[in-house]
Structure 1
Amino acid sequence: MGLGLIGVVAAGGAAVAYAAVDGKPAMPADRAAIELVVRDYILNHPEIIPEAIDRLKAKQIAAKIEEHRSELESPYKGAWEGAEHPRVTLVAFMDYACGYCRASLPDLARLVKDNPDLRIVYRELPIITNDSVGAAKVSLLAAETGKFMSFHRAMYEAGDVAPGAVIKAAERAGLDTGKAKAALKAPGADAQIIENVRLAQALGAEGTPLFVLGDEMFTGAVGYDALKAAVDKVRNKG
């Protein structure tokens, strides 16, 4: 029996099957027989269960991304790199204290170089340490003054989110030292950071880096090839 003929819905731990003949729902007696066939099929082919779960998760993720796409792909000030008028947009949630984020930097730089129609939108998600929040605040200042990527690279080159390291990175990026110190010491979290956290939570994010591309979401340092394949997929969909 082909899987295309049967739809299986998991509800409350039970599998409920539905079939239609000439567009009409199956009668109760037929439905019971179909459920028995489906049950036997699943028991004989348990490998389809993880596949079905993965497909369901992918569908749910795609729906969440589509719901928030406009917000996700609209950068804060200058917190982006790549194409001014992109055909493909990659959204990257990152934390300056995240080693996997740092490891992903060369892959992202290569993606921008190899794909002139790609834009990467960066969203600060400071969840690892308290110092990450201060670094994120200064990055927003950098975005407001057209120095985001310079500060972004300087921070990951430093590999440290302690206040002193953040100020040194700000100076290397050409930021006003006084303004950088003020941003670093400002109480509470910036509204943009709160918004980034809200979006990440809406997507069900579990860590950084988090990459959103098309209808897909990737967590961790997934590498150039995986991201490039996703870029090509979005581009080919038109």
Structure 2
Amino acid sequence: MADTAPNPRSPWVILALIIVALIGGLGGWLLGSRQTPTEKAAIEEIVRNYILENPEILPQAMERLQARENGKQVASAGDALTAPFPGAVLGNPNGTVTLVEFTDYACGYCRASVPEVEALIAANPDLKVVIRELPILSPASAEAARWSLAAAEQSKFEAFHKAMFAAGRPAADTIEAAATRAGMDLDRARKVIAEPRVEAELKRNLALAQQLRIDGTPSWVIGEQLLAGAVGQKVLQDAIDAVKAGPKR
């Protein structure tokens, strides 16, 4: 079996970082305050006992550290993350709150999230949903993603998006059926799909996903929050509400 690097988002890796931070912070404080060996040992014992008696602080610290790291990653992506491929938007294209979804047409969880996103759009007139095609599950899902971008060029993105998920797993026949149902000009779509900008968009989305350490779909970004998986409508609405409320003071 080939060696694999530790997943930087693994709970055990994060836990190790927390322990290192605690030890490092304690060591720096001890060095600065020039404690005697006896005093150092006493303080270390206090910290050890506190952690053992209050183990719930570790998951809490892990969660806070993960949120902080996610925020840094999202900020580093900049406007490239929220700037859509022209037309590849659901909801209000001029909305003041932006939800980014990384999706794959071969993903069952993505399919299940379609009505949840529709409900969020209905409940939040100021919501702009930027769809980033991330076809990582099959060659057919990559072809469906190309047709999706071609649909965006024809202002048929939402219609194709819904029709493609409703058609089932992507295949040559289901993709064409979804395009026809969406009212697309198929010949025009085939020309757009062959344009370099379509492949460039898919590569851009993959690069963004790698930068954000996204390895599955659906994945969501709103504000500084990065949410992985089928988190559900309520979690997404809470994240939307947090953005609307603004940063905590």
Matches of 1:139 and 1:80, distance apart in 2: 11
Superposed displacement of residue 84, structure 1:
3.2
2:137 aligned residue: 128
Question: 1 or 2, which has the higher helix percentage?
Answer: 2
1:3 aligned residue: none
How many pairs align? Answer: 227
Contact 1:86 1:119 in 2 (8 A): yes
Q: Are 2:114 and 1:105 equivalent residues in the alignment?
A: yes
Q: How does 1:44-55 map to 2 (within 5 A)?
A: 44-55=53-64
Q: Are 2:20 and 1:15 equivalent residues in the alignment?
A: no
2:188 aligned residue: 179
Contact 1:139 1:151 in 2 (8 A): yes
Q: What is the CA deviation profile of residues 127-161 of structure 1, one whole-angstrom value per residue up to 9, with x for unaligned ones?
A: 11110110011111111221111111110110120
Which amino acid is 1:27 matched to?
R
Q: 1:20 to 1:207 in 2, by over 3 A?
A: closer
Q: Are 2:74 and 1:65 equivalent residues in the alignment?
A: yes
- TM-score (ref. length: structure 2): 0.82
Unaligned 5+ runs, structure 2:
1-16
Contact 2:113 2:230 in 1 (8 A): yes
Which amino acid is 2:23 matched to?
A
Q: Cα RMSD over matched residues? A: 2.6
Matches of 1:62 and 1:149, distance apart in 2: 29
Contact 1:135 1:184 in 2 (8 A): no
Superposed displacement of residue 208, structure 1:
0.5
Q: What is the CA deviation profile of residues 43-87 of structure 1, one whole-angstrom value per residue up to 9, with x for unaligned ones?
A: 222232222122111110111011113111111100002223322
Matches of 2:106 and 2:193, distance apart in 1: 15
Matches of 1:19 and 1:236, distance apart in 2: 39
1:75 aligned residue: 84
Contact 1:17 1:35 in 2 (8 A): no
Superposed displacement of residue 185, structure 1:
7.7
Secondary structure in 1 matching 2:23: strand
Superposed displacement of residue 15, structure 1:
2.6
Matches of 2:24 and 2:53, distance apart in 1: 17
Superposed displacement of residue 181, structure 1:
4.3
Q: Are 2:232 and 1:220 equivalent residues in the alignment?
A: no
Which amino acid is 1:171 matched to?
T
Q: What is the CA deviation profile of residues 151-178 of structure 1, one whole-angstrom value per residue up to 9, with x for unaligned ones?
A: 1111011012001111111111122212
Matches of 2:212 and 2:119, distance apart in 1: 26
2:241 aligned residue: 232
Contact 1:96 1:135 in 2 (8 A): yes
1:26 aligned residue: 33
- TM-score (ref. length: structure 1): 0.85
Secondary structure in 2 matching 1:77: coil
Superposed displacement of residue 215, structure 1:
1.5
Q: 1:186 to 1:79 in 2, by over 3 A?
A: closer
Which amino acid is 2:159 matched to?
S
1:158 aligned residue: 167
Unaligned 5+ runs, structure 1:
1-7
